[in-house]
Structure 1
Amino acid sequence: MSTSLHYNDDVKNFYGINEKGFNNNEPPPYLLQFENSNDILTYTKDIDNDCLNQIKNLAKLKIVKGHIAILPDVHLGKGIIIGSVFLTKDFIIPNGVGVDIGCGILCLKINNLKKKNLNDKNINNIYNMIKRNIPLSFDYHDKEIFDSKMRFDQLIRKHGSKNISSIIKSKHFKQLGTLGGGNHFIEIGYDASSMSEGGGEKVDRSSARKASCISRFPNDHGGRDSEDDAHQDYEESDIYVLIHSGSRNIGKTTAEFYDVLASEESKMKRNDLAYLDLRKEDGQNYLKDMKLCLEYAKCNRIYMMKIIEKVIYDEVKCTLNWENCINIHHNFCNHELVSYVDNNNEIKKEYMFVTRKGATSSKKDELGIIPGNMKVGSYIVKGKGNMLSYSSCSHGCGRILSRTKAKQLIHQNDFVNIMRGIRCDTNNKIRDEAPQAYKNLNDVLKNQDSLIHVVKRLIPLINIKGF
């Protein structure tokens, strides 16, 4: 690793970091340099060797421009690091977007509903009815819901390339309004910042953490003081619904289809860093079909939310606030105006393709969601538009245990005990999603203080996962 920098003053000011590199004592980001490699700016020092090797492989790829931003929830991916943001000009890496194209989060507030209005019976009924009406894991609807067939056909006509007929399957329109499995979730929770922070708007991160996390939620791997003590001050808090899901099987088949083409074109192995030339037909077709999957993913979350709205209305006669919804992706590539340092150590400002692999867009004043684990809930955040991360922030808190290691190291009783107080599944099949498998959410937020403002902290009452 090189720590001898020969940048001009403009570049030093652009980076705005200590020249000592990774081992300095300054707040993030930290600068990493390797021989024949793009610069790497990382918002965490907690990077193991396997992750570092994936980062280095990406940074040495000739098609990548500027520095690579590594976010604090970084963890190992299949061929490419999760929690990364990078630039390309004339090329795109299908595996960089990944198999769950458009995976993201939809968040809405429930109108005229406070925490005090939800009793245990309401919570249990809502939980059961959501699970009854929204297919989980590999399941899907046995027939059209709402206008799903018409909407699916519209997406294909508007965005699909000539390759789409080789990608789509008959079940894809029936998967609109379905959750999937893994780390996908449906969550209903209360605003834990509203009581102490005057409604929760524009809450400073440090004050939100002090009010919502340290005193009552000291261990953001999942531990809390007593549940009564944790919840007692929030009876007047608003209630929110969050859905984390993506493009389901159509995203997977699209990614795999183009990864094969990319491997053939770039002469690189599959499920790695194979790329397509955007000046050629296959590259343009990928952009079209990726856009289709992004719109599909947004629509999928909306259909689930419509189902949930009916469940909530039937139980407590409340609707959802659709006017102020947040519906965002964190696996996607977008053409954006960015500033970066080129190979001649000069600052350039131009439109580039920004690939966010497990990363949330955080442009100036843009709202986003950073979920933690199934115990500690999520943050609503507002972007600062920091170009060092290409206006991006983390998409979650990131895993510290692989799914295999989590199953080996986390005892089932510990999983059950840590989830007490939340209506949720603690089935052995989702033990790899236990809170102990994830990084500390407070640490992840602290490391990206220069990227986002915290707006709200949402604490779960209900959590639903597929298995």
Structure 2
Amino acid sequence: MGRTHNLTGKDLRRIGYPEGKVISIALQVMQQHFKHSKPSEALELLEKVRENPGDYLKNPTLGKIAAELVPKPKAGPDEIPLSESRKEYTVFGADHIETGAINQMEIAMRLPVATAGALMPDAHQGYGLPIGGVLATENAVIPYGVGVDIGCRMCLTLYDLPEHRLYSETSRLKNILQRETLFGAGREFPKPMDDEVLARKEFKEIPLLRGLHAKAVRQIGSSGSGNHFVEFGVVEITDEKNGFAVPPGRYLALLSHSGSRGLGASIADHFTKVAMYRTPLPREAKHLAWLDLDSADGQEYWACMNLAGDYASACHHQIHRKVGRALGENPIALVENHHNFAWKEQHEGRELIVHRKGATPAGKGVLGIIPGSMTHPGFIVRGRGEPTSLDSAAHGAGRRMSRAAAKNSITWNQVNDVLKHNGITLLGGGLDEAPMVYKDINQVMAFQRDLVDVVGTFTPKIVRMDDK
């Protein structure tokens, strides 16, 4: 049996431990209290302490390590005041957006780095920037303006198969979704597929990412909980000039929604804490702390964010490859887009950092997907490049009811009646994602007629979500 006294500082740095006395303290603690553990077990435990040091502060043995990893209360920059007046921004569908989301956008537009903004018609309250909020800054990136699920995205593949296969082969399609997908916070594949994104140099060059690589490997191709889904449905292409060379008609299709899993969440958590230290803001705006892109921290977050976005895309591609292989079909078209991300874009002749937290890119000619709910259609759209929306559109129907309210007011009998009425087969899911918790997607689309053109629809039929 191996012993932990064989661990070295190099081993700890490899899993993301920072330089400093924390390494010597960790080695000493492991030698004193865990010397009969295998090195692999000791490293796994040390990685858990590094990821969540606050959980171990009161641990009689690991507390010493955790104390060194928790950010120390120390004298830092003075609190940065918000501007007295806010920058102007456009609200789409204002009468149907809750006050909390409006208030959050008002605060965001008073940030000293804010230059422009917009609020989409599916907006609702979140943390920091509201869901559905679009915020442009100059040379600054806001980790919580991107969100926790970095690169959360939609991905749609069309197959040259008639829609009746959804009804004549329902059992087979259900089995494919259950066999080829994995849902849930923390869920991992015992034998994950390899992917070129896992070999990216950032995983070796950035200490934080080195410590997250193993988890990223185990979770590649999986989906999260909440509103994440993979579903079979019917796509109807209505526009001959749709932008992806598919003739008008009805097709069997697969639509997925999820993001960058534990990788993105850990990146968001780490850099939000860094941003809060670097640019402390008044309490009501603290989650909008930013990182200057000329700083080392800003550059590192930008690299991590882009990697997480590419990782999210790779997860979707793996899901669609596996499902396509099980179907025995190659897709004839693919459409995808991020909606929790920050982009460097040109607006009014200058480069801005455009954060879209729950908003779809809708630059002129850009294709995207705006889902409805499990009982209402989603839309394949082509952006119109509307300046007042910062080339953005809604990312879905938007919640009209909180998760807690849904669980307290909706019953499974009600949900099952709605699903049966609409001919939907649901695998997994929870009351907090019931169809009735969402706004009317058709009304949302009506509010953004100037932002996107509809080129097709997606109607879900077999929906796979996290098992509650």
In the superposition, the TM-score normalised over structure 2's length comes to: 0.76
Residues 243-281 of structure 1, C-alpha deviations (whole Å, 9 max, x = no match): 111100100000001011101101236971111111110
Distance 1:125 1:241, change over 3 A: same
Match status 1:333 vs 2:342: yes
Would the aligned equivalents of 1:95 and 1:271 in 2 still touch at CA under 8 Å? no
Q: Secondary structure at the match of 1:124?
A: helix
- Cα offset, 1:167, TM superposition: 4.9
Distance 1:143 1:396, change over 3 A: same
Specify every segment of 5 or more residues in structure 2 that has no aligned partner in the other structure, as ranges.
1-82, 243-247
Specify every segment of 5 or more residues in structure 1 that has no aligned partner in the other structure, as ranges.
1-33, 204-233, 340-348
- The letter of the residue matching 2:192 is E
Task: Indicate which of 169, 176, 181 corresponds to 1:129.
Answer: 176
Runs of 4+ in 1 over 6 A off after TM superposition: none
Partner of 1:286: 301
Would the aligned equivalents of 2:101 and 2:124 in 1 still touch at CA under 8 Å? yes
Q: Secondary structure at the match of 2:316?
A: helix
Q: Secondary structure at the match of 1:262?
A: helix
Residues 96-119 of structure 1, C-alpha deviations (whole Å, 9 max, x = no match): 1011000001111012x1112443
Task: Indicate which of 224, 240, 250 corresponds to 1:201.
Answer: 240
Query: Residues of 1 paired with 2:204 and 2:291: CA distance?
Result: 17
Query: Residues of 1 paired with 2:184 and 2:354: CA distance?
Result: 30
Partner of 1:54: 104
Which has the larger share of helix?
2
Match status 1:154 vs 2:203: no
Would the aligned equivalents of 1:177 and 1:303 in 2 still touch at CA under 8 Å? yes
Task: Indicate which of 156, 179, 185 corresponds to 2:223.
Answer: 179
Q: Secondary structure at the match of 1:289?
A: helix
Q: Secondary structure at the match of 1:54?
A: helix
Query: Residues of 2 paired with 1:453 and 1:107: CA distance?
Result: 17
1:209-248 counterparts in 2 under 5 A?
A: 237-248=250-261
Query: Residues of 1 paired with 2:119 and 2:295: CA distance?
Result: 29
Query: Residues of 2 paired with 1:60 and 1:350: CA distance?
Result: 20
Partner of 2:315: 300
Partner of 2:455: 455
The one of the two structures with greater contact order (alpha-carbon pairs below 8 A, sep at least 6) is 1
Partner of 1:228: none
Partner of 2:141: 92
Task: Indicate which of 154, 163, 179 corresponds to 1:115.
Answer: 163
Would the aligned equivalents of 2:162 and 2:251 in 1 still touch at CA under 8 Å? yes
* Bigger mean CA offset, 97-106 vs 124-133: 124-133
* Bigger mean CA offset, 82-91 vs 264-273: 264-273
- Cα offset, 1:181, TM superposition: 1.0
Please tell me whether Structure 1 or Structure 2 has the larger radius of gyration of its CA atoms.
Answer: 2
- Cα offset, 1:293, TM superposition: 0.3
Q: What CA RMSD, in Å, does the superposition of the two structures yield over aligned residues?
A: 2.1
Partner of 1:63: 113
Q: Size of the alignment, in residue pairs?
A: 374
Distance 1:359 1:135, change over 3 A: same
Distance 1:239 1:88, change over 3 A: same
Query: Residues of 1 paired with 2:188 and 2:273: CA distance?
Result: 27
Q: Secondary structure at the match of 2:275?
A: helix
Would the aligned equivalents of 1:161 and 1:285 in 2 still touch at CA under 8 Å? no
Query: Residues of 2 paired with 1:77 and 1:271: CA distance?
Result: 13
Q: Secondary structure at the match of 2:308?
A: helix
Query: Residues of 2 paired with 1:153 and 1:164: CA distance?
Result: 15
Q: Secondary structure at the match of 2:214?
A: coil
Would the aligned equivalents of 1:361 and 1:393 in 2 still touch at CA under 8 Å? yes
Would the aligned equivalents of 1:407 and 1:431 in 2 still touch at CA under 8 Å? yes
Query: Residues of 2 paired with 1:369 and 1:43: CA distance?
Result: 18
Would the aligned equivalents of 2:166 and 2:233 in 1 still touch at CA under 8 Å? no
Distance 1:160 1:277, change over 3 A: farther
Distance 1:108 1:165, change over 3 A: closer
Q: Secondary structure at the match of 1:300?
A: helix
Q: Secondary structure at the match of 2:157?
A: strand
Q: Secondary structure at the match of 2:175?
A: helix
Distance 1:186 1:410, change over 3 A: same
Would the aligned equivalents of 1:161 and 1:288 in 2 still touch at CA under 8 Å? no
- The letter of the residue matching 2:226 is G
Query: Residues of 2 paired with 1:392 and 1:49: CA distance?
Result: 21
